Chain A
Amino acid sequence: MEEAETLTPNERAWLRFLREVSNDADPTPTLRRVQLLRRICARR
């Protein structure tokens, strides 16, 4: 299991926001969601 202290501040921000938008429901990174996520990162 990954430790919280090994995360960068940016990664912690991503996690915090992920919890917020998913209502802290521990969402699975499904293929569809990952594809959308990759699109966000690719557009940079």
Chain B
Amino acid sequence: MYAACCVTSERLEMSKKPHADTRLAQYVERRVLELKPKKSQLQIASEAGFPNPNMVTMIKNGTSKLALDRVPSMARALECDPAYLMRLSLEQAVGDTAAQAIAEIYGTPITVNEVGWLAEIRDASGDTDPRLTSRSRAALRAIFGR
């Protein structure tokens, strides 16, 4: 009985916050927290051009999705990489599998950080277009502690 109750309340919560488990909701929550000393959630909503000041809260807690056309202004308001936010937003809009299919055909947006990594790889290898060998994989894993 108790278990059934828990499942029901969990389902109810999911229907109220259908996007709570998405990476975008978690990322927006993190950025809002990181920007807290600098600007409020209301300021972020206004800078992103949302007429509803509660929109950032709704995106953060997963009640609402971030519309794809809002990604550029939201990225500016959150002071984050627009390509990265677009990637997360696309994933939220169409789901993991569809986002991967889109990326496979059209390519994924490359972030400023990724451009930085590529520049370093080119520079460090003398622009020899190095292959990703199993040794370089192992070394990259070590850099990220995985």
Main DSSP-derived SS at the A contact region: helix
Q: How far is the CA of A30 from the CA of B137 in the complex (A)?
A: 18
Size bracket, chain A contacts: 20 to 34
In the assembled complex, the CB of B139 is this many whole angstroms from the nearest CB of chain A, namely 4
Main DSSP-derived SS at the B contact region: helix
Total B residues in contact with A, Cβ cutoff 8 Å: 36
**Interface stretch of the complex, out of B5-13, B42-50, B121-129:** B121-129
Write the B109-146 contact mask toward A (1 if CB under 8 angstroms, else 0): 11111111110110011000111100111011111101
Chain A residues in the interface with B (C-beta under 8 A): 1-5, 7-8, 10-11, 13-15, 17-18, 21-22, 24, 26-29, 33-34, 36-44
